[in-house]
Amino acid sequence: MRTIDTESASSIRERAGERAVKLQLEGIEKSFGLLAAVAGVDLDCYAGEVHAILGENGAGKSTLMKIVAGDLQPDAGHMWLDGETYRPASPKQAMRRGIGIVHQDHQLVSRFTVAENLFLGWDGADRVGGPRSLAEQASAIVDRYGFELDPTSTVRDLSVGEQQRVAILRALVRGVSVLILDEPTATLTPQEVEVLFGVMRNLATDGCAVLFITHKLCEVLAISARVTVLRAGVRVAELGAHECDERLLAREMLGRDVESPSKGDAPPRAVSEPILQASGVTVRDDRGSLAVDDVSFEVHSHEIVGIAGVAGNGQRELSEAVTGVRRVASGRVLVDGKEMTGEDAASYVRAGVGHIPEDRLTAGMILRESIANNSILKMLHVETDRSNLTRGPWLRRREIDRFARQLLVEGQVSTSDPKVKVANLSGGNIQRFLVARELRAASRLLVAVHPTRGLDVGAADRVWRILLRARDEGIAVLLISEDLDEVLSLSNRVLVLSAGRIAGELDNTGAPPSREHLGMLMGGVEQEALVGSAAALKGCGP
C-alpha cells in the first residue's frame, strides 16, 4: 500500500515537472568499536535519478547504505523518505517502505534454491503451488529481466557472480522505489553491465531513486546523474556527473593522483619456456557436473596469462585443478614438463607452484590461528624450508617466528608480531601476508585468483606491482579475475573462459582487444563465430 502511495505521489510531481527529494540523510554517524565507519554524512537523493556513491574500500559506502536499508542503526543523524521521518528498525521495515538493497556479500540463504531465495519473505508470490510453481514463477521473472539463471539450482552451488544476480533480482521483484546497489557490476560481463544499466535507467524513468555504489569511475560517468564521493567516512564532494571527469573523481576519491601500473612488454616468446601445460583438462565441480571441459593452454615463464570470464564459468575449478586442490577428471597437467596429473597440493608446492586462492579467508588462512602458524601452512612440503623450520618430527618455533617475521616485512603487513591472530588483521593486511607467503612458494608458477577482490585502490596497486615483478623475475603467472580492467592491464595474453571452455585467446601485447569482443566471448560466443557477425551481436545485446 505504502509503496503504491509514494509511487503515485512521485509520478504526480514528475508530471508537474519538479524534482522530488526521495531520500534525505543528514549527519549520519556509525562506529564499529573504535572505528568510525561513517562520520557525519549528508545525502540527498532525488526520485528518478541514478545517484552514485563513490569511494575506496573502507570509505563507508556500504555502512551508509546498510543504515539506509535498515540493516544497521545509525549512532546519530536523521533520515527522511518522501519528506517523512524514516528510521527503519529492520531491513523488513525498509523494504515495506520501498527501499531495496543488493549487498556486496549478497546475503542469500545458501541452502535454498534461486527460486526460494527470490520468494523468501515476499508476499507478492503465489506460494501454494509448491516448488515447481515457485520455479516456474521464478523463471518467468528471470526471463523478464534477461538474466541467465537456473531457478532450481541451490545458491550454495552458484558462483559469486551468479549469486549476485539472484540478489539483484530479489530486490527488483519487490517493486522498490529506492534501489541500492552495492558494487553490483564487479562480477558481470560488459554486456550484462549494459543490461543492468538499462534496468537502472528504466527504474529511474519510472520515478525510482537508484543509489549506485561503486569504485569504478567510468561506471559513475556512464550511468549516474549525480555523484557523492566519500572518503574515510566523510562526504568530500557532491557533483553532477556532467561536471566531472575520471581524473577529478579519482582525485576526490583518493585525495591524491594515481596512475595505474603499466604492464610493459613481455620478453619475446623465444626467451620464455612453458611452465604450466594443461592439455584436455576436464574438471568436475562439487555437484559432479562438468565445470571445466577439455581445456588446453600453456603459461610460459616471463608472462602473465589472464583468464577472463563471468564467475561460475569454471574459473574456480580450473584454478584448483592446476594447484592440486581438486583432482582432474581427465586430461593432463604438467609443471616444468613434469607430470602432475592426480598429484595433491603438497606435490604442487614442491614443484614450485604458489596459489592465491579465491576464498582466502576460509581456504588460504586459518583466521583463529597466529600469523606464525599461518606462515608455514604449505612450507613444510618444501624440502629446503622443511629442513630449516623443523627438526625430525618437531617444529622449530623460533625459526618459524623468524620466517613469519620475514613474510610480514615482505608483505608490508602492519604488524611485526608473529603471535598476532590473523583474524585481528584487516582484509588488506591478510591479503598482503598471503601474497607474500605464496610468492615464497611460487618459484616457478603463481596462480592468482581474484588477487585484489575487496582491496582498496592502494592495496590493489601494491598487489599488481608484486605480480608484475614476479613476472619480470621469470615466474609464470596465471591470473584469474572477474575484473576485466585488472586482466587487461596486467596480462600478456588473455584467455576467455565461458561455460567451462576456452571461448577465445587474445593477444594483449599491443593494442588491447575491444571490450565488446571480450564481452561476446565471455557471453559464450565462440571466437570463430564472431568474425564479422552482426547476428551474434544481436543475440548478445540487451
8 Å CB contact between 467 and 358: no
At closest approach, how far in Å is the CB of 42 from another protein?
6
Distance from C-alpha of 330 to C-alpha of 432, rounded to nearest angstrom? 34
Longest dimension (CA), the chain: 83
At closest approach, how far in Å is the CB of 336 from another protein?
18
Distance from C-alpha of 96 to C-alpha of 25, rounded to nearest angstrom? 19
At closest approach, how far in Å is the CB of 326 from another protein?
8
Q: Give the residue carrying C-alpha cell 608480531.
A: 417
Question: Mask: binding to another protein, 59-78, rule CB under 8 A, as x and -?
Answer: ----------------xx-x
Question: Mask: binding to another protein, 230-269, rule CB under 8 A, as x and -?
Answer: ---xxxxxx------------xx--x--------------
**Interface residue with another protein, options 3, 9, 27, 153 (CB under 8 A):** 27
Please give the backbone phi and psi of residue 376, each rounded to the nearest 5 degrees, phi first. -105, 20
Fill in the DSSP letter of residue 266: P
The x, y and z cell numbers of residue 90, run together, are: 529492520
Q: Applying CB under 8 A, which part among 260-268, 293-301, 361-369, 498-506 lies near another protein?
A: 361-369
Type of residue found at 235: R
8 Å CB contact between 78 and 26: yes
Closest CA to 215 of 246, 191, 238: 246
Q: Which of residues 261-320 bind another protein (CB under 8 A)?
A: none
At closest approach, how far in Å is the CB of 471 from another protein?
23
**Interface residue with another protein, options 12, 140, 363, 409 (CB under 8 A):** 363
Residue 364 binds another protein (CB under 8 A)? yes
The x, y and z cell numbers of residue 322, run together, are: 592446476
Distance from C-alpha of 49 to C-alpha of 478, rounded to nearest angstrom? 41
At closest approach, how far in Å is the CB of 182 from another protein?
21
Percent helix, strand, coil in the chain, to 5, is: 40, 25, 35
Scored b (16 or more CB within 10 A) or e, 44-66 reads: ebbbbbbbbbbbbbbbbbbbbbb
Type of residue found at 463: V
Whole-number Cα distances in Å, 301 to 266, 343, 445, 490, 507: 10, 22, 8, 15, 16
Closest CA to 435 of 326, 357, 322: 357
Our CB check for another protein shows the closer of 288 and 510 to be 288
Our CB check for another protein shows the closer of 134 and 439 to be 439
Q: Applying CB under 8 A, which part among 27-35, 290-298, 404-412, 470-478 lies near another protein?
A: 27-35
Question: Mask: binding to another protein, 414-453, rule CB under 8 A, as x and -?
Answer: -------x-xx-----------------------------
Q: Applying CB under 8 A, which part among 6-14, 130-138, 365-373, 502-510 lies near another protein?
A: 365-373
At closest approach, how far in Å is the CB of 81 from another protein?
11
Residue 36 binds another protein (CB under 8 A)? yes
**Angle between helices 427-441 and 457-472 in degrees, nearest 10:** 10
Our CB check for another protein shows the closer of 88 and 519 to be 88
Our CB check for another protein shows the closer of 106 and 226 to be 226
DSSP track, 304-332: EEEEE--TTSSHHHHHHHTTTSS--SEEE
Residue 182 binds another protein (CB under 8 A)? no
Q: Which of residues 377-396 bind another protein (CB under 8 A)?
A: 377-378, 380-381, 390, 393-395
At closest approach, how far in Å is the CB of 180 from another protein?
19
Our CB check for another protein shows the closer of 147 and 433 to be 433
The footprint of another protein (CB under 8 A) covers 21, 24, 26-27, 29, 31-34, 36, 38-40, 42, 44, 46, 75-76, 78, 80, 83-85, 87, 233-238, 251-252, 255, 324-326, 344-349, 355, 357, 359, 362-369, 373, 376-378, 380-381, 390, 393-395, 397, 421, 423-424
